[in-house]
Amino acid sequence: MDAAAIAAVLKDVLDSSKFAEETLDYMASILQEEPEAGDSEMWELLADFLRDAGVVAEDDEAAGLAICSQLVTRLRPGQAGGSTSSTAKAPAAAGKGSQGGGGYGGAKAEALSRPVMLSSLLEAAPQGSGAGFGDAYQVGDGPLGPRGGLEELPQEHLKVVAAVAKKKNEKIARRAERKAWRAEEMEEEDAVWVDLPAGQSLGGAGGAVDFHLERYNLVNKKGSGDLLCNASCTFAQGRRYGLLGRNGVGKSTFLDAVARREVPGVPSCSIFYVRQEVEGDERTAGEWLLQADSEKVRLNAEKEQLTGESSDGGIRLAQIYGRLEEIEGSEKHVEEKRASDILTGLGFDSVLRSKATRDLSGGWRMRVALACALFVSPGLLLLDEPTNHLDLETVIWLEHYINTGFHGTLLVVSHDRVFLNEVVTDIVLFENEALEVYRGDFNAFEKIREEHRARQERLREQQEMKREHLQEYITKHAEAGNNGCKAAAQRKARIRKLDKLGMEAQSAIEGRKIKLSYDGVQKDVEAVQDVASVTLTFPDPGVCDSLGNPLLRFTDLEFGYGDEPALFSGLNLSIGQDSRIAILGKNGSGKSTLLKLLLSKLRPRAGSSAPHRGACVEYVAQHHLENLDGESRPLQIALDRFPGDGSMTHELKMRMHLGHFGLGGDVLPHQKVKTLSGGQKFRVSLALAMYRKPHLLVMDEPTNHLDLETIDALVDALDEFKGGVILVSHDEHLIDSVCKDLYVLEKKKLNRFPGGIIEYKKRVLANSKLTS
């Protein structure tokens, strides 16, 4: 029976209103893996779920067995309920064997009079029957007594026994993992959850412990093959890890699997997971925070359950009432102040705090989720691109808060190298279906990688020189006919040495002697593989004005929407073709509005805006991906936007233009946009913006959803670009690498900042009354 049919039976037999849809699906998948489970086995599998949902009481096993008996009857109508189990089914299976239907030699099943050692059985087996195989599978340790029908157990049957035992052990291990998995508050569409495991102490979620991965395979849910294959690594308690990898390797899938406890070895601590996109509801930001830690909710539920039971739970009830009094009494004002401080740090004013989260933008909902994570301070915090929707000021505040206020284990996916340098203690590289941990921040990781690369190239060169020398000796001696005993021995010695070149190289890498008996055969040092780099080539726009007049000039400009107060006034700005300007300021200060004024999409209330008549200005918006039709293809989009004369020559020209942005070849130009990675979609938007060879390029948060390689390519392209650049970005590395002038929009004024991004960062921390 498939999982969908099993889920339908579960909904029919159980009260489906008490279970999330995903929980029922998960229970169905468990039962699908155990098709022969009887009612007692099924109770063992489902007990935690039924108790958590309140379907059965904690100590009412009889009610649980009755429910499981109904499930067995519905799932397998021909099988009686009762207490059917693997033990009870054994005689039936043996009976089949006694009739010659797959039994061991047709022998009648009977109880053993004493322990049996399979290796002893094999000693008496005929030659060629695989004597010695049973040494690895021993039952008991007593001497072999007289037995009828088992004297000559074939090796094939022993292999079957071993395979069945292995499969059974794997099922037991999976069952133990499922018991640690908690279904509460873990629906597919949720962007945030707190997972509180069984056995949690009354005082809170408990601290984190080391998290070990050993030979783990991560299945690709969106395609074929595995994202991780036999991956092994350790995440130590209290350390902060940055997970790096190119777009599409499976970083977000891995975080999701960890959050859902689908990864073996996930510690029994609270887990808080913040995805890239967050859905809101009718609650305000403050209500989200105060309800994020579900300890109070859990205690109230347990109180209701104990109050309704006749059993004596007075001691536990007293503990619960005491803890609830602490939470609602002396700690209430402390928690509310802490929640308020976190929201203030993330930029929430009184207006935003009063709004329902569903009415907030995606960026502000992300801040709510981050605020919840910081407020709860879980044992294991998972963040997926947390800086994407934040302004620079909030990123700086978040860096400081994580460093000073968070003491659990952090696993974060981010493309912001400065954020990684400030926050993480280790880098985890997700590459080639494996995870590799590097101690240190992102800069240390880059240095170590470069050193490893140089050493690998050096060892590869030495290895190939030795190989060439040894092979030349072997070949020349063979051709010369030196086949005496001594010559043959010398050739064989060099052949053995040739086979051990990989061991010599590995000894040099690990700094110890490699032993074949202990370490096994070592592979040769492979040639360094150059990862396909991303290259962006911007066209030369030419000189717009030979006299050096500005492309755009604002004089005493003032702007506001309708009758509302002015967003800014007295704004003066001159932009030339050699300008490299970053506009900084908190969210809501008017940065995006200022960009629209630059693009002449809005008219000022007062003052003058004087664009150059011959200047071409292009804009790459923050949400540029929304303007791309997912069903269209890059080449078709470009030809529709710029049809030209419709000739084949124009199409070839457009293909060449796309190739300058890493979209060349025969595949990418014709691939559906919805199947492209975030970096590839950005390159499509950038290619469209640069086709007209703009003299001024305006970009709003261009690094959102880009991987590090694409950001580096963008930095290089902007550095070589012959036109002006205006950026609004939270990426400190991009600003520091590209922009010469920083302008800060605050208190309704635009002022040039006298310094670089480091000085500005110090000022932000000082203004927030924080010390770095």
Is 339's pLDDT higher than 80? yes
Residue 498's pLDDT is 72
Residue 652's pLDDT is 92
CA angle in degrees (0–180, nearest 5) for 259-263-265: 105
Angle between helices 634-641 and 678-690 (to 10 degrees): 20
Q: Specify the DSSP class assigned to residue 574.
A: E
Task: Choose the weakest-confidence range: 126-130, 264-268, 298-302, 744-748.
Answer: 126-130
Residue 271 confidence class, pLDDT cut points 50, 70, 90:
confident
pLDDT top residue among 379 and 184: 379
Residue 289's pLDDT is 81
Task: Choose the weakest-confidence range: 48-62, 303-317, 375-389, 433-447.
Answer: 303-317
- Alpha-carbon span 595 to 612, nearest angstrom: 16
Residue 625's pLDDT is 67
Residue 68's pLDDT is 87
Residue 135's pLDDT is 36
Helix (H, G, I), strand (E, B) or coil at 205: coil
Across 206-210, 531-535, 628-632, which has the greatest mean pLDDT? 628-632
Alpha-carbon 247 to chain mean position: 11
Question: At residue 690, what are phi and psi to the nearest 5 degrees?
Answer: -95, 0
Helix (H, G, I), strand (E, B) or coil at 422: helix
Across 380-389, 465-474, 739-748, which has the greatest mean pLDDT? 739-748
Q: What is the helix, strand, coil percentage profile of the chain, to 5?
A: 45, 15, 40
Find the length of the chain: 772
pTM over 0.85: no
Residue 56 near residue 67, CB atoms below 8 Å: yes
Residue 216's pLDDT is 87
- Alpha-carbon span 195 to 98, nearest angstrom: 51
Residue 674's pLDDT is 83
For residue 273, what are the β-bridge partners?
382
Residue 724's pLDDT is 94
- Report the pLDDT averaged over residues 76-81: 60
pLDDT top residue among 412 and 202: 412
How high does pLDDT run on average in the chain? 76
Question: Which residues in 127-149 are b (16+ Cβ under 10 Å) and which e?
Answer: eeeebebbeeeeeeeeebeeeee
Question: Which residues in 600-636 are b (16+ Cβ under 10 Å) and which e?
Answer: eeeebeeeebebbeebbbbbbbbebbeebeeeebbbe
- Report the pLDDT averaged over residues 435-439: 91
Is 101's pLDDT higher than 70? no
